[in-house]
Amino acid sequence: MYVEEIGIDGAFVFTPRKHGDERGIFFELFKSTTVRDVVGSAFRTAQVNCSVSKAGALRGIHFADVPPGQAKFVTCLTGAVFDVVVDLRCGSPTFGQWRSVVLDDSSRRCVYLAEGLGHGFMALQDDSAVTYLCSSEYDPDREHTVYPYDPQLSIEWPADLDPCLSSRDLSAPTLTEARRSGLLPAHPAAAAGPRRPAG
């Protein structure tokens, strides 16, 4: 797999090598040793989710309480989506910043995002199927969302589609509101606090 950093600590794009012949193609969608070598720890798959969305469907920005958090390995099996990673970790150098990548059934790219990062996407085609490997099981009491059209985030969602959001995402707090209410996770370095001098 070809691995690319996208400018937010803990977020990577994996592009598999495709092998084709007259039958079609074969590729490795996920390889635990490759992910472990890139991210520095093993990825434990606790749950696998799949969503199928019409064009314009917008899901996110979602994140889970840390700890335990929920790392994700995301790909689009059919169709195409505009996939977004948002740094929601207080104390992070890139707090409030976002990066995007198009995931589709041609490039077969995958996105890995660490615990504490927010995730969302907009479907670019009807019947776009997105699969998520998740490091922890879904727990509604630990799951949260940030308003995807928050002006502070200024995510440049595709403008040529009519967005369709759930009522939960439409009424989600802004980044500032989520921070004030204590919903947002801390960046690992910030959570650890300052180091005490030896001796």
Could you give all domains of the chain from N- to C-terminal order, each with its CATH number? 2-183 (2.60.120.10)
**Is the pLDDT score of 198 beyond 90?**
no
CA dist 42 and 135 (Å) reads: 10
189 confidence band (pLDDT: 50, 70, 90) = confident
> In the prediction, which pLDDT does 196 show?
47
Please give the share of the chain, as a percent, with pLDDT higher than 70.
Answer: 95
Q: Which residues are catalytic?
A: 62, 132
- DSSP, collapsed to helix, strand or coil, labels residue 86 as strand
The predicted model scores a pTM of 0.92
Residue 197: burial class (beta carbons within 10 Å; 0-12, 13-18, 19+):
exposed
Phi, psi of 98 (to 5 degrees): -135, 155
What is the Cα–Cα distance from 140 to 114, expressed in whole angstroms? 19
> Dmax of the chain from CA atoms?
67
Q: Please, what is the average pLDDT of the chain?
A: 94
Per-residue confidence (pLDDT) for residue 192, from 0 to 100: 59
Return the pLDDT at 18. 93
Given this model, what pLDDT does residue 197 score? Answer: 47
pLDDT of residue 129: 98
Q: Which of 28-37, 46-55, 57-66, 188-197 is predicted least confidently?
A: 188-197
pLDDT score for 188: 85
Residue length of the chain: 199
Token pair 């403008």: residue: 159
**Rounded CA separation 177/51 (Å):** 28
- HSE at residue 107, side-chain half, CA atoms within 13 A, is 15
Residues 64-111: tens digit of each pLDDT: 999 999 999 999 999 999 999 999 999 999 999 999 999 999 999 999
Residue 191: its pLDDT value, please?
61
Using one digit for the tens of pLDDT, what is the confidence trace for 106-151? 999 999 999 999 999 999 999 999 999 999 999 999 999 999 999 9
